[in-house]
């Protein structure tokens, strides 16, 4: 971690964390005119669209907590047109104006973090602590970094002409593209919206965001946070549009001639469809398509740290993270100890509804289909010889989507569970012999999003990291690269192309 985090980032991280903790003491409730659900306590918001009905089901309880409607293709075009009109004025704003809007958003997020977290919990089933970390802290850091460093990333940059043109001047200007079409998944309902919208509008663009049908309940509220900030600072709130719908709604956004770029987070299968549809108008795309990330623990690593990060990498948000540690490679000298220690810790995890008032380690999964997929992959692997060390049972005593966190050993690379992105609460533990063996295994995947390498020999760890085909790598930690917003985020191979976050992310919208 020391070789990744500068002192400035550490101090800002701690400052954000302290602010989030203090805000929980003096939290002020948002005045919402919509009625509140008696079970969840959050406001019930209605969609203004007229397409098919989308039932909003809490994955923790199986209860229908509301309904919204999908945007029709015509309504998608109307949203794009409103956004484009607003962007014509917004692109003329100064960076100071844009910072003021983001500060307004930041203040609102910190003051209303409890309500934001509850919406996230209702939509996704994650625990309140996971929402606090994944929705609030990461979003505050995104806003803080953009406010502090965004202008420098987009300021005009001088370039050197050749000697024969020594009297000439050359420079690059980052001109906003126009309207960014954003299609995001359900695993972090607020942060996925906030991160993409923050980058889009700070770089001078409008944002039209199509959310997943599995996070449609919170969409109107989360969109209103940015629209409110724009209005309070005297700008047209139509700059940010949130649309709900199914696949055809997303396809309509990709087909729109009024969209200048598509930013998509999802699966490789859907990403190919997005790219194919966007190609009709030669609309450029950035695709982040998930991963099958390896986490490698050498025999000379800090064992306790490796175990802690493996638990976090596999089970935070029930493994529903694009950079989840989906393959744990452990050196043969410490393999048996690791399996014993991790087995005890996995069995000790407490799972339940995050809205029930009890303290739980893991909440619910979000999608019924995803639970079925994970359960099917696990059962198939066990039938092929994998050993279930802990967990693995689907709960039948509740309507919620609960699959016990589990640990599998004796898995091999010819099993589908090792090849496909699982996106669930599964720890796969695989033994390796030496550096060459683990590099070959780590690279034996169609994905290449991120990886983690643990060793007290930093030169060895960094050498191994460079030889793994992935867009990002963390040494002796897990997941911290995303919180360092100065770093670009993205993958290679089937994990997609293009980058978001950092200077590269802002500049990609120009």
Count CB neighbours of 167 within 10 A: 6
**Cα–Cα distance list, 421 to 101, 374, 401, 413 (Å):** 37, 9, 19, 13
The pLDDT value recorded for residue 14 is: 46
**Mean pLDDT confidence for 139-160:** 97
In this model, does residue 63 exceed pLDDT 60? yes
In this model, does residue 15 exceed pLDDT 80? no
Q: Residue 125: left if φ>0, alpha if ψ -120 to 50, beta else—which one?
A: left
Mean pLDDT, all residues of the chain? 91
**Mean pLDDT confidence for 458-471:** 98
Helix (H), strand (E) at residue 428: strand 426-432
Of the residues 140, 314, 322, 362, which is catalytic? Answer: 322
Least confident of 46-50, 283-287, 440-444: 46-50
Q: Beta partners for 328? A: 295, 429
**Mean pLDDT confidence for 155-172:** 95
In this model, does residue 45 exceed pLDDT 70? no
Of the pLDDT bands very low, low, confident and very high (cuts 50, 70, 90), residue 147 is very high
In this model, does residue 35 exceed pLDDT 70? no
Helix (H, G, I), strand (E, B) or coil at 495: coil
Of the pLDDT bands very low, low, confident and very high (cuts 50, 70, 90), residue 381 is very high
* CB distance 440 to 469 below 8 Å: no
**Mean pLDDT confidence for 44-61:** 83
pLDDT single digits (tens) 91-126? 999 999 999 999 999 999 999 999 999 999 999 999
The pLDDT value recorded for residue 47 is: 60
Say how far apart CA 223 and CA 308 lie, in whole Å.
35
In this model, does residue 384 exceed pLDDT 50? yes
How many Cα atoms occupy the beta-carbon half-sphere of 361 within 13 Å? Answer: 16
Say how far apart CA 103 and CA 144 lie, in whole Å.
8
Q: Is 362 a catalytic residue?
A: no
Of the pLDDT bands very low, low, confident and very high (cuts 50, 70, 90), residue 398 is confident
Of the pLDDT bands very low, low, confident and very high (cuts 50, 70, 90), residue 358 is confident
In this model, does residue 32 exceed pLDDT 80? no
DSSP of 166-194, one letter per residue? TT--EEE-----SEEEEE--SSSHHHHHH
In this model, does residue 401 exceed pLDDT 80? yes
**Mean pLDDT confidence for 69-78:** 96
In this model, does residue 237 exceed pLDDT 90? yes
**Cα–Cα distance list, 271 to 70, 156, 181, 359 (Å):** 21, 33, 14, 37
Residue % of the chain over a pLDDT of 90 = 88
Helix (H, G, I), strand (E, B) or coil at 22: helix
Question: In sequence order, which residues have a C-beta less than 8 Å from that of residue 14 and are 6 or more positions away?
Answer: none
**Bigger pLDDT: 194 or 11?**
194
Q: Is 53 a catalytic residue?
A: no
Of the pLDDT bands very low, low, confident and very high (cuts 50, 70, 90), residue 25 is very low
Q: What is the DSSP letter of 415?
A: S
Whose CA is closest to 286, among 308, 260, 315? 260
Least confident of 181-185, 247-251, 356-360: 356-360
Whose CA is closest to 408, among 320, 349, 473, 339? 339
Say how far apart CA 251 and CA 234 lie, in whole Å.
33
């Amino acid at each position: 971690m020391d070789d990744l985090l500068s002192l400035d980032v550490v101090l800002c991280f701690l400052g954000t964390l302290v602010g989030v903790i203090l805000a929980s003491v003096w939290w002020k409730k948002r005045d919402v005119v919509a009625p509140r659900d008696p079970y969840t306590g959050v406001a019930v918001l209605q969609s203004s669209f007229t397409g098919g009905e989308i039932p909003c089901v809490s994955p923790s309880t199986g209860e229908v907590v509301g309904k919204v409607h999908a945007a029709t293709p015509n309504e998608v075009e109307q949203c794009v047109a409103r956004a484009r009109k607003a962007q014509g004025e917004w692109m003329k704003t100064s960076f100071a104006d844009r910072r003021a809007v983001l500060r307004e958003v930041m203040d609102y997020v910190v003051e209303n973090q409890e309500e934001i977290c509850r919406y996230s919990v209702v939509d996704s089933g994650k625990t309140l602590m996971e929402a606090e970390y994944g929705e609030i802290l990461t979003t505050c850091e995104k806003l803080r970094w953009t406010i502090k460093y965004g202008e420098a990333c987009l300021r005009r940059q001088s370039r050197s002409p050749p000697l024969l043109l020594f009297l000439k001047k050359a420079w690059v200007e980052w001109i906003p593209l126009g309207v960014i079409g954003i299609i995001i998944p359900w695993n972090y309902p607020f942060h996925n919206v906030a991160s993409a919208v923050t980058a889009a509008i700070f770089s001078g663009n409008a944002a039209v965001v199509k959310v997943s049908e599995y996070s449609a309940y919170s969409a109107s509220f989360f969109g209103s946070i940015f629209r409110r900030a724009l209005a309070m600072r005297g700008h047209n709130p139509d700059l940010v549009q949130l649309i709900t719908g199914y696949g055809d709604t997303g396809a309509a956004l990709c087909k729109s001639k009024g969209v200048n770029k598509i930013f998509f987070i999802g699966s490789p299968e859907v990403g190919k469809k997005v790219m194919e549809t966007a190609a009709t108008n030669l609309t450029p795309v950035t695709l982040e398509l998930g991963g099958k990330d390896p986490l490698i623990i050498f025999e000379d690593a800090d064992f306790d740290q490796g175990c802690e990060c493996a638990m976090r990498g596999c089970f935070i948000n029930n493994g529903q993270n694009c950079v989840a540690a989906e393959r744990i490679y452990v050196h043969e000298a410490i393999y048996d100890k690791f399996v014993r220690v991790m087995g005890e810790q996995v069995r000790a995890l407490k799972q339940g509804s995050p809205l029930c008032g009890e303290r739980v380690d893991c909440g619910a999964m979000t999608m019924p289909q995803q639970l079925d997929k994970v359960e099917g992959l696990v059962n198939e692997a066990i039938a092929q010889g994998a050993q279930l060390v802990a967990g693995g049972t689907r709960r039948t005593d509740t309507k919620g989507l609960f699959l016990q966190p589990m640990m599998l050993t004796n898995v091999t690379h010819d099993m589908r569970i090792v090849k496909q992105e699982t996106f669930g609460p599964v720890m796969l533990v695989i033994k390796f012999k030496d550096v060459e063996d683990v590099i070959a295994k780590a690279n034996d995947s169609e994905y290449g999003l991120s990886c983690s390498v643990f060793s007290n020999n930093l030169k060895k760890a960094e050498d191994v990291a460079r030889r793994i085909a992935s867009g990002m790598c963390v040494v002796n930690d897990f997941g911290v690269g995303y919180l360092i917003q100065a770093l670009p985020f993205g993958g290679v191979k089937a994990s997609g192309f293009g980058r978001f976050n950092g200077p590269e992310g802002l500049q990609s919208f120009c």
